[in-house]
């Protein structure tokens, strides 16, 4: 990032400190530990596991080409063989049948950008691998995708019955994906495309879910031709731009207000998918030492050199002020270690990809952490 942007970044951080908008990230609080009965499942190390990966890329029909590193001939395989091991406990093994039974008839929605697509496709593959005989129905319409897991009754006593007379039943588990880059709205106005920091009209589509998993950050850093808006707006006032960390804080505060007003905790569990780091040399807001190109193993230390991304600090602060229970999937540090797990050039995309993650791969661990939280 250029010198001018770095200066703005630091100024934004100081501003947020002075206004109480940031504090040091602390995932050893009771709220974090209670996800696994006292164990902080987000602090640990990567260990070799010969049984990994959790599924075969060639048998999962849900992986987009941009994440399908093995299909696009990534030569190394070791990145597939690492399992996350918390320091003070063991994670449960993923069981797709248990997942479908527990959440029978329920709707689980991932809301966010392409990182939400990453984790949604991962969970779809993990379940499919556990119950490959289960039929599925996938419907895509605009920015919404809905995958339903179905099953046909296979009781031998009815095998002689004509198929059209056999009563079909299904798990009714729906995995939904709602694509939105910022969570808050982008509206077309006379002046152009406006990012409305204090408006969430799209939230109407998120109601009625049993589990909501939210994610946003990467697009807040986009500038120039890759930026999908012309102005920001707050309180009816237009801004040509503002520091992105401040804008992110404002947008997340609007999202938190939506959760407080619209979520019934007795009916809906809410998660925020923590900041997914990128590994771009000299261009990353997380400031890694070098890009993901050529990386073939994780970072083996405990303290990651770049430290906690300021975006993660902002997330932590917003969540600390929210009135309704929201669980943080604190994937940031364990993902920072995995500089080896990006698609790099092995996928259907242009140039170097150090933002997304190969499937199978790291997002499977994110889902294992989600599974742990849902089942404990």
Catalytic residue ranges: 114, 353, 356
Q: What is the DSSP string of 168-232?
A: PEEEEEEEEEEE-SSSSEEEEETTEEEEETT--SGGGGGTT-SEEEE---GGGG--GGG---SEE
Q: Which of 217, 151, 208, 227 is nearest to 183 (CA)?
A: 217
**What is the number of other CB atoms lying within 10 angstroms of the CB of residue 266?**
5
Yes or no: say if 344 and 70 are a contact pair by the CB < 8 Å rule.
Answer: no
- SS3 breakdown of the chain: % helix, strand, coil, rounded to 5? 30, 20, 50
What is d(CA 330, CA 299) in angstroms, rounded to the nearest whole number?
18
What is d(CA 324, CA 263) in angstroms, rounded to the nearest whole number?
8
- The two structure tokens encoding residue 214: 């939210």
Q: What are phi and psi of 23, to 5 degrees?
A: -150, 165
Yes or no: say if 188 and 223 are a contact pair by the CB < 8 Å rule.
Answer: no
Angle, helices 244-262 vs 3-18, to 10°: value is 40
Q: What is the DSSP string of 81-128?
A: GEEEEESSS-PPPP-HHHHHHHTTT-EEEEEESHHHHHHHHHHHHHHH
Q: Give yes or no for a cis peptide into 53 (omega within 30° of 0).
A: yes
Half-sphere exposure of 228 (CA within 13 A, CB side): 13
- The two structure tokens encoding residue 66: 């941009």
């Amino acid at each position: 990032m250029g010198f001018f942007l770095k200066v703005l970044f630091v100024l934004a951080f100081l501003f947020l400190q002075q206004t109480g908008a940031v504090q040091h990230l602390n995932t050893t609080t009771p709220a974090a530990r209670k996800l696994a009965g006292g164990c902080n499942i987000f602090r640990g190390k990567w260990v070799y596991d010969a049984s990994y990966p959790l599924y075969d890329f060639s048998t999962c029909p849900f992986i987009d080409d941009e994440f399908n590193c093995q299909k696009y001939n990534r030569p190394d395989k070791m990145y597939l063989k690492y399992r996350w091991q918390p320091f003070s406990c063991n994670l449960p093994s993923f069981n797709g049948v248990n997942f479908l039974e527990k959440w029978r008839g329920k709707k689980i929605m991932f809301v966010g950008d392409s990182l939400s697509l990453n984790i949604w496709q991962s969970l779809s593959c993990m379940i499919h691998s556990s119950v490959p005989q289960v039929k599925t129905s996938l419907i895509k319409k605009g920015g919404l995708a809905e995958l339903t897991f179905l099953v046909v009754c296979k009781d031998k006593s009815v095998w002689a019955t004509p198929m059209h007379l056999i009563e079909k039943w299904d798990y009714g588990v729906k995995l939904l994906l709602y694509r939105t880059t910022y969570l808050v709205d982008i509206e077309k106005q006379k002046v152009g495309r406006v990012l409305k920091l204090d408006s969430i009209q799209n939230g109407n589509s998120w109601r009625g879910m049993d589990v909501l998993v939210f994610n946003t950050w990467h697009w807040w850093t986009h500038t120039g031709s890759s930026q999908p808006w012309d102005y920001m707006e707050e309180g009816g006032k237009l801004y040509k731009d503002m520091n992105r960390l401040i804008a992110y804080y404002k947008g997340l505060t609007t999202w938190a207000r939506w959760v407080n007003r619209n979520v019934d905790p007795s009916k809906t569990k809410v998660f925020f998918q923590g900041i997914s780091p990128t590994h771009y040399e000299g261009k990353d807001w997380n400031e890694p030492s070098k890009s993901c190109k050529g990386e073939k193993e994780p970072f083996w230390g405990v303290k990651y050199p770049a430290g906690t991304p300021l975006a993660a600090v902002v997330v932590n602060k917003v969540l600390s002020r929210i009135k309704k229970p929201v669980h943080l999937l604190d994937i940031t540090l364990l993902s920072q270690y995995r500089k080896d797990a990006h698609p790099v050039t092995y996928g259907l995309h242009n140039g170097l990809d150090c933002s997304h993650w190969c499937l199978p791969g790291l997002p499977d661990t994110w889902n294992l952490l989600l599974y742990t939280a849902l089942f404990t």
